[in-house]
Amino acid sequence: MRHLLSTRDLDRATAIEILDVAEDMADVQQRAVRKLPTLRGRTVVNLFFEDSTRTRISFEAAAKRLSADVINFSAKGSSVSKGESLKDTAQTLAAIGADAVVIRHPASGAPQVLAQSAWIEAGIVNAGDGTHEHPTQGLLDAFTIRRRIHGDAARGRDLDGIRVTIVGDILHSRVARSNVWLLSSLGAEVHLVAPATLMPVGVGSWPATRGYDLDEALATKPDVVMMLRVQAERMSAAFFPTAREYSRYWGLDDRRFAMLGAGSMVMHPGPMNRGLEISSRAADSAKSTVLEQVANGVSVRMAVLYLVLSGEKGETP
Ligand code: NCD
């Protein structure tokens, strides 16, 4: 794999291969020494033009557990115009010998620009670009679902017939987009629920069904309920009247949480707005996969960095 830019262009076989390598990485995480020498001598740069907690530390942990050298570059607040600053930054990273660049950027398509440019040869991993995609989040979510459902027998399996309901701020969510593409390629049935103002135009062409009533969606007892953060920082206008009203109609509150089926799971990519899109009871329950998602994120990112970096210079670690 040369780059990882989106899940939209991942076919089922490739997606399963990444998840299977992540299973191997997860096994390594169970050992007393959680480190592999695989990427020794390789340099991974975390280039973050947007805030992040878990994604950045997760990529850092993943790279370090594969023995790569990691450079964290937080470019937030740069006043240089975006195209230019990206070019200059990329050329700088190329000059210091970056083998892989993990990039988060507020502009949709920025990782693609880097991957297609002549500025840098490194493998590019998209860690979230604007409202476009967040492929490693989609992969870690698929990994988490597959593990919860199939346990130790997860390797090689897809998500055929698993019903996933994604709820909330779909409009601004790259997590929702990456999940829609990936989960549907893996055979899951994806249903989207949002207020009409937060449902993207063009969603009709996505491989997902949609609805506007959360109670109705939960009454069908989906296997997975994925709550999205209300991304206030991406909202230039008012998309709903008040937080209270949002939570009443679109939040996974205690009453709705009680409606969920016994074997169902509650997901959230984090950071959570507790009390807005999800109640603490739901977030901290045994159905919640929130911390599993974080832990699995490290294994999935190890797999992605390994696959992007291993073939590149013709060495087999
Ligand atoms: C997501 C993101 O940044 O897109 N967070 C994450 O990576 N865990 C979702 C969000 O910010 O709501």
Cβ(52)–Cβ(74) under 8 Å? no
d(CA 55, CA 72): 12
CB of residue 269 inside a 6 A radius of ligand 1: yes
Instruction: Look at strands 43-48 and 209-211 and give their pairing.
Output: unpaired
Beta bridge partners of 189: 163
Q: What percent of the chain stands above pLDDT 90?
A: 87
pLDDT at 212 over 80: yes
Q: Which residues contact 196 (CB under 8 A, 6 or more apart)?
A: 212
CB of residue 231 inside a 6 A radius of ligand 1: yes
Backbone angles phi, psi at 55, to 5 degrees: -65, -40
d(CA 108, CA 99): 23
Task: For residue 229, report the distance from its CA to the centre of ligand 1, in Å.
Answer: 8
Entry pTM: 0.95
pLDDT at 228 over 90: yes
Q: What's the confidence (pLDDT) of residue 82?
A: 59
Q: What's the confidence (pLDDT) of residue 211?
A: 98
Question: Could you read off the pLDDT of 107-137 as tens digits, one per residue?
Answer: 999 999 999 999 999 999 999 999 999 999 9
Q: Rounded mean pLDDT of the chain?
A: 93
Higher-pLDDT residue of 10, 83 = 10
Q: Select from 7, 102, 136, 175 the residue to mutate for testing ligand 1; criterion: most ligand atoms less than 8 Å from CB.
A: 175
Q: What's the confidence (pLDDT) of residue 234?
A: 84
CB of residue 137 inside a 6 A radius of ligand 1: yes
Band (85; pLDDT cuts 50, 70, 90) = confident
Q: What's the confidence (pLDDT) of residue 20?
A: 98
CB of residue 55 inside a 6 A radius of ligand 1: yes
pLDDT at 315 over 50: no
Task: Determine the atom of ligand 1 nearest the C-alpha atom of 128.
Answer: 4
The beta strands (E) that lie in the chain are given as: 43-48, 69-74, 100-105, 123-129, 163-167, 189-193, 209-211, 224-227, 265-267
Q: What DSSP line would sit under 191-254, residue for residue?
A: EEE--GGGSPTTGGGSSSEEES-HHHHHHT--SEEEE----GGG-SS-SSS-HHHHHHHHSB-H
Q: What's the confidence (pLDDT) of residue 84?
A: 65
d(CA 129, CA 137): 12
Let me know the angle formed at the C-alpha of 120 by 13 and 41, rounded to the nearest 5 degrees. Answer: 75
- Chain-centre distance of CA 127, in angstroms? 8
Task: For residue 270, report the distance from its CA to the centre of ligand 1, in Å.
Answer: 6
CB of residue 175 inside a 6 A radius of ligand 1: yes
Q: What's the confidence (pLDDT) of residue 235?
A: 83
Task: For residue 34, report the distance from its CA to the centre of ligand 1, in Å.
Answer: 26
Task: For residue 304, report the distance from its CA to the centre of ligand 1, in Å.
Answer: 18
Domains and CATH numbers, the chain: 7-133+294-312 (3.40.50.1370), 135-289 (3.40.50.1370)
Q: What's the confidence (pLDDT) of residue 313?
A: 46
Query: Measuring from atom 7 of ligand 1, which residue has the nearest CA?
Result: 55
Question: Could you read off the pLDDT of 41-69 as tens digits, one per residue?
Answer: 999 999 999 888 899 999 999 999 999 99
Based on the number of CB atoms within 10 Å of its own CB, is 29 exposed (0-12), middle (13-18) or buried (19 or more)? middle
CB of residue 168 inside a 6 A radius of ligand 1: no
Instruction: Identify whether 271 is preceded by a cis peptide bond (ω within 30 of 0).
Output: yes
Task: For residue 170, report the distance from its CA to the centre of ligand 1, in Å.
Answer: 12
- Over residues 58-83, the mean pLDDT reads 82
Higher-pLDDT residue of 287, 86 = 287
Q: Which of 108, 206, 109, 106 is nearest to 166 (CA)?
A: 206
Q: What's the confidence (pLDDT) of residue 76?
A: 62
- Over residues 200-219, the mean pLDDT reads 97
Question: Could you read off the pLDDT of 256-296 as tens digits, one per residue?
Answer: 999 999 999 999 999 999 999 999 999 999 999 999 999 99
pLDDT at 168 over 90: yes
Band (237; pLDDT cuts 50, 70, 90) = confident
d(CA 69, CA 90): 18
